[in-house]
Amino acid sequence: MPKKKITIEVDRVLYDLLQVLTCGPCAPESVEGVVMELVDHAQQGVYRPGAWERDWLRQAFGDEWTAYLMPGDPYGRAGCEHIFERPKKPISSRRRKT
């Protein structure tokens, strides 16, 4: 599957705050690992309607984004229409105008 690159830049205070999440025996080893863990949980909240992450995303982003999902597995696994959701296409034309 082709990959997309995301580059983010954060200030030192934000970096230091996220670095706290690298402490502990089960913690990621780096701030980059923390960000990837957050990304992983966010994507699970998008495609798994019953996941705890879904409520977490609703708190952060509201409910409107769920209207842009439809039944099906975004990773292409068969027989998952009743448990997973995937983005409706095309997403880019449905973005909120500012």
Model confidence over 2-52: pLDDT tens digits? 899 999 999 999 999 999 999 999 999 999 999 999 999 999 999 999 999
CA 47-33-58 angle, to 5 degrees, is 35
C-alpha 14/C-alpha 92 separation (Å) is 29
pTM of the model: 0.84
CA 27-28-31 angle, to 5 degrees, is 120
| Number of separate domains in the chain | 1
C-alpha 58/C-alpha 68 separation (Å) is 14
Over residues 48-83, the pLDDT tens digits come to 999 999 999 999 999 999 999 999 999 999 988 899
Q: Would you say residue 60 lies in a domain? A: yes
> For residue 50, what are the domain limits?
29-94
Q: Would you say residue 52 lies in a domain? A: yes
Q: Would you say residue 14 lies in a domain? A: no
- 3-class SS of residue 86: strand
Q: Would you say residue 10 lies in a domain? A: no
C-alpha 98/C-alpha 96 separation (Å) is 6
Residue 13, number of CB atoms within 10 A of its CB: 8
Chain position carrying tokens 């973005």:
95
